[in-house]
């Protein structure tokens, strides 16, 4: 399949998958969320949010990389028999 | 005769070098698209810092970049989809499931974002009434996406580092 065909197909799948979520609005779960919703305060300009975004991406990434490195290191270290 | 052989050898070497360059550059394009997707996503993930109109319009820029990102990895997606119920390395299976969850969450965040759009939809003449259900889904999916994206990056960290070292660092040295 060539590029010209594949990209519209991916777009179409993207839109169709999106439409699947729309009926969620009519569920009892949605009603429950609406009933318990508090009024959303208006968005105020705060550049600090960028830091929050960076932390939210980097922290899980750092933890995962550390775990992977630790596991690799453990696998590579020869076991010492006692 | 020997001159002809030498020329043929040179042509072969040149072709090999060209194909090598082509191979590296396709990986670099991949890398640059991924980088663009990350930067755009980081920008749109902070509506408090960028204002809501920027947040909404840049989301529409992000969708094609996201689709291109999927397109560039289509070979891998198709291959693993065919083999998902067969024998596969654990990390490949985990990667596949993780990426699929990110895909679903990304669509959920996009759909819920469009439904509660305060700038883009009114701009094209569609008035909206903000539904707290979609607002809550949009916030939750967006926050979850950030964490999942971090783990997605970490899972591909070796590739990121190797492409950076192979491609961009070498180019910088040559320049």
**pLDDT single digits (tens) B28-66:** 888 999 999 999 999 999 888 888 889 999 999 999 999
Structurally, how many domains does chain B consist of? 1
Give the structural domain span for B125.
31-174
What's the ipTM?
A: 0.78
Residue closest to B150 by CA, chosen among A53, A2, A73, A4: A53
Q: Is A49 part of any domain?
A: yes
Structurally, how many domains does chain A consist of? 2
A21 vs B45, B103, B111: nearest CB: B111
Asked if B131's CB is within 8 angstroms of A34's CB, the reply is: yes
What is the maximum alpha-carbon separation in chain B? 81
Q: How many angstroms from the chain centroid is the CA of residue B9?
A: 40
B155 vs A17, A18, A64: nearest CB: A64
**Contact status of A16 with chain B (Cβ, < 8 Å):** no
State the alpha helices, DSSP H only, in chain B.
2-44, 47-50, 52-72, 74-83, 90-115, 120-123, 132-155, 157-163, 170-174
Give the structural domain span for A70.
45-76
Reported pTM: 0.80
Q: Is B9 part of any domain?
A: no
For residue A30, the chain B residues in CB contact (below 8 A) are 133
State the alpha helices, DSSP H only, in B45-89.
47-50, 52-72, 74-83
B149–chain A nearest CA distance, Å: 6
Asked if A14's CB is within 8 angstroms of B63's CB, the reply is: yes
Tens of pLDDT, residue by residue over B117-136, are: 989 888 888 888 888 999 99
Q: Which two tokens stand for residue A68?
A: 């992977």
Q: Residues A52, A30: one domain?
A: no
- B1, pLDDT greater than 60: no
Give the end-to-end CA distance of chain B in Å, rounded to a whole number. Answer: 38
Q: Is B127 part of any domain?
A: yes
**Contact status of A22 with chain B (Cβ, < 8 Å):** yes
């Amino acid at each position: 399949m060539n590029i010209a065909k594949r990209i519209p197909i991916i777009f179409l799948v993207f839109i169709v998958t999106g439409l699947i979520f729309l009926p969620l609005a009519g569920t009892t779960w949605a009603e429950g969320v609406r009933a318990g919703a508090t009024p959303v305060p208006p968005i105020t300009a705060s550049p600090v949010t960028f830091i929050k975004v960076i932390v939210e991406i980097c922290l899980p990434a750092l933890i995962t990389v550390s775990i992977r490195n630790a596991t690799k290191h453990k696998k590579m270290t020869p076991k010492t028999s006692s | 005769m020997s001159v002809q052989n030498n020329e043929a050898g040179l042509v072969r070497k040149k072709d090999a070098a060209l194909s090598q360059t082509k191979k590296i550059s396709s990986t670099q394009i991949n890398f640059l698209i991924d980088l663009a997707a990350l930067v755009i996503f980081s920008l749109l993930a902070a509506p408090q810092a960028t204002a809501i109109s920027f947040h909404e319009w840049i989301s529409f820029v992000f969708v094609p970049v996201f689709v291109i990102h999927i397109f560039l990895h289509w070979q891998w997606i198709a291959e693993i989809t065919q083999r998902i119920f067969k024998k596969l390395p654990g990390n490949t299976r985990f990667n596949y499931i993780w990426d699929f969850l990110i895909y679903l969450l990304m669509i959920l965040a996009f759909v819920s974002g469009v439904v509660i759009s305060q700038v883009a939809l009114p701009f094209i003449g569609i008035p909206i009434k903000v539904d707290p259900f979609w607002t809550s889904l949009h916030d939750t999916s967006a926050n979850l996406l950030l964490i999942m994206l971090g783990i997605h990056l970490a899972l591909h960290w070796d590739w990121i580092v190797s492409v950076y070292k192979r491609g961009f660092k070498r180019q910088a040295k040559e320049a």
